[in-house]
Amino acid sequence: MSEMSVSAIITRIKDAHEDSPIAVFKLMNKPGYLNAVFASTVKTSAMIRDPRFSERLVGVYDRSFNVESLRVHLQKEAMR
């Protein structure tokens, strides 16, 4: 996984195509950061289905999402 700030994740999402979205997961004990990985890989797809990881899944995003709304949402999730 890739621990990143919300700003770095937004940059990745803004470039992510619909067929290669970014999955964002909560990090435990690291406020202000989230894990961001390509959602379409076999490993990430398995993680999304695995209850141990799916409960930490914030969402799967691509460049079609409203960046400002997404930034607010991710900032809230990064601080939980």
CA distances from 70 to 31, 50, 52, 66, 76 (A): 17, 24, 24, 6, 10
- Report the pLDDT value the prediction gives residue 17, as an integer from 0 to 100: 95
Confidence of residue 74 (pLDDT cuts 50, 70, 90): very high
> pLDDT tens digits for 4-61?
999 999 999 999 999 999 999 999 888 999 999 999 999 999 999 999 888 999 999 9
**Angle separating helix axes 67-78 and 6-15, nearest 10 degrees:** 140
* Residue 1: pLDDT band with limits 50, 70, 90: low
Secondary structure percentages of the chain, helix, strand, coil, to 5: 40, 25, 35
For residue 22, the one-letter residue type is I
Virtual torsion, Cα 33, 64, 69, 76, nearest 10 deg:
-20
What pTM was computed for the model?
Answer: 0.92
Listed residue (20, 22, 50) closest to 35, CA to CA: 22
